Every structure is written in structure tokens, then in C-alpha cells.
Amino acid sequence: MQPAPPPTPARALAPAGSPAPHLEPAGAGEQHPAATDTPAPDRPWARTTVPVLVALLLGALTAFGQAHLPETLTPLANSSGSWTVVAFACALLPRSARTAALVGALAMLAMLAGYVVTNELRGFPSSSALLLFWGVLSVTVGPPAGLGAYWARTRRDLRAALGLGALAGILVGEAAYGLTVVSESTPAAYWWGSVLVGVAVTAWASVRRLRGAAAQVAAPVVAAAVATPFVGLYTYGGTVMGLL
């Protein structure tokens, strides 16, 4: 016969009425770091420096674009409208109105610097008249463009209408100049495209972005007010630049 297995030790029973023993869960007593959602640190210097560096690069590319872009797009490399759009886009990043205005001016000046330095390295020095004309435009148009971008991003009232309407007016006004004054030396297709973009910005602002009848009406009014004197001012500016 096989020997009987040894008896299993009896489990100790707690006396009646005594609390059950507390069992520690696995891993109890270990220290675990608290799970926290730490927000990414804000870097205001990046919101200023990065857009300006991008503008500097685009200014350098402008020097090459004048010779290598397709004929239909050649005005893109010699257009105040395109430079204003770049300054406007760069100024969408800063979180204060003052910084946005500063970035608008710095972006235009950076594009001018990139263009002038690149052409100098290629053996095409820029005239003092060009530097003066575009330098004045940079410090006069850049800050309003930057401020308008800030308003367009953060507001939906009359100030946003002013920013978006002014941008659209520059695109339409320069297109009017291109289709009339320099129509024989520049492609009409580009200028009609600029008109369409300006009208599209105004329509989007009035229908989708802005709130309130006053702001929705103000956007096309501001666009027309900016575009109307553009031909005369641009022609006069070109004449003055030619005399310098």
C-alpha cells in the first residue's frame, strides 16, 4: 500500500468577530511619480525669430525667382502684394499686438535684406533708390500688416475687418496697377489671380470670420478704400524712385 500523503497544515482562523487581515496589493509601498499634464513651455523668442528667418530666406529666393519663375508668375518675385502677404503670415504667430507689429516690419526688412544680399553675391548690386523705396515701405506698411494679422487671428470685430480688408485691398490695388500701368510688360493672368485672392479674402472674412453686420460690411469697404488710391500712389512712388 502507498503511504498516505502528509496532512495539509491547517490555516489559522481568526477568532470570531475579529477583523480580517489586510492584504497589501502587489507593488504596494513603491513610490510612483504623479501623472501630471505639464504644458509645453512657451518660447516667445521663437515666435519672433523664426518668422523673420523665414522672411529672410524668402527674400533671398525672390532674387532667384525673378530669373527662374515661369512667365505667368514672374510678378510674384517683384510684388508688394506678395511681400505683404508674407509679413501678414509671419505676424500671425506672436501673442501680443506690439510684437506682431514689430514682426511685420522686421519680416519686410528681412525680405529686403535677403534680396539685396543675394543679388549682391550674384553680381547684381541694388540701387540706393530701391533700398530707399522698399525700406520706407517696410517700416510704413510692415507694422500695420502685422497688427492687422494679430487682429485677424484674435478678434472678429471691426479691428479684424480692418486687418483683413487692408490685406485684400493691397492685393486688388496692386492688381489694378498691374492691369493698367504695366500691362504690356507683365502677365495679366497673375494680376487677375491677385484680384481673385483679394476678393476671396474679403468674402471669407465677411461670411465666415467676422461677427456683426458692422464688421461684415466694413471688410469690403476697407478693401475698396485701400485699393482705390493704390494705382496713383504706386505710380508716384515709382516715379520718385526713378528720380533718385
Q: Count H helices, E strands: the chain?
A: 8, 0
- Say which range, 42-46, 60-64, 111-115, 209-213, has the weakest mean pLDDT: 42-46
pLDDT at 171: 97
pLDDT at 130: 85
- Say which range, 39-48, 77-86, 105-114, has the weakest mean pLDDT: 39-48
CA 20 to chain centre: 67
pLDDT at 184 over 80: yes
pTM for this prediction:
0.79
Q: What is the grid cell recorded at 12?
A: 489559522
Q: Which of 154, 185, 211 is the last residue of a domain?
A: 154
24 within some domain = no
**Sign of dihedral through CA atoms 25, 27, 28, 34?**
negative
- Whether 135 and 182 share a structural domain: no
Return the higher-pLDDT residue of 48 and 217.
217
Please name the amino acid found at residue 68: H
Range of the domain at 104: 46-154
- Whether 120 and 100 share a structural domain: yes
Q: Report the pLDDT averaged over residues 123-139.
A: 89
Q: Report the pLDDT averaged over residues 169-179.
A: 95
- Whether 243 and 207 share a structural domain: yes
- Say which range, 9-23, 65-79, 147-161, 187-201, has the weakest mean pLDDT: 9-23
- Mean pLDDT over all residues of the chain? 85
Q: Report the pLDDT averaged over residues 68-74.
A: 90
Distance CA 58, CA 60 (A): 5
pLDDT at 66: 84
**Sign of dihedral through CA atoms 64, 67, 73, 76?**
positive
- Say which range, 2-6, 78-82, 121-125, 218-222, has the weakest mean pLDDT: 2-6
- Whether 131 and 161 share a structural domain: no
Q: Which of 154, 184, 207 is the last residue of a domain?
A: 154
- Whether 148 and 172 share a structural domain: no
Please name the amino acid found at residue 67: A
Q: Which residues of 82-100 are buried (b: 16+ CB within 10 A; e: fewer)?
A: bbbbbbbebbbbbeebebb
Q: Select from 122, 138, 140 the least CA-distant residue to 130.
A: 138
20 within some domain = no
Q: Would you say 55 and 111 are in contact if contact means Cβ atoms under 8 Å apart?
A: yes
pLDDT at 13: 47
Distance CA 154, CA 118 (A): 36
- Whether 131 and 205 share a structural domain: no
pLDDT at 233: 82
Please name the helix (run of DSSP H) or strand (run of DSSP E) that holds residue 114, with its range, or none.
Answer: helix 97-121
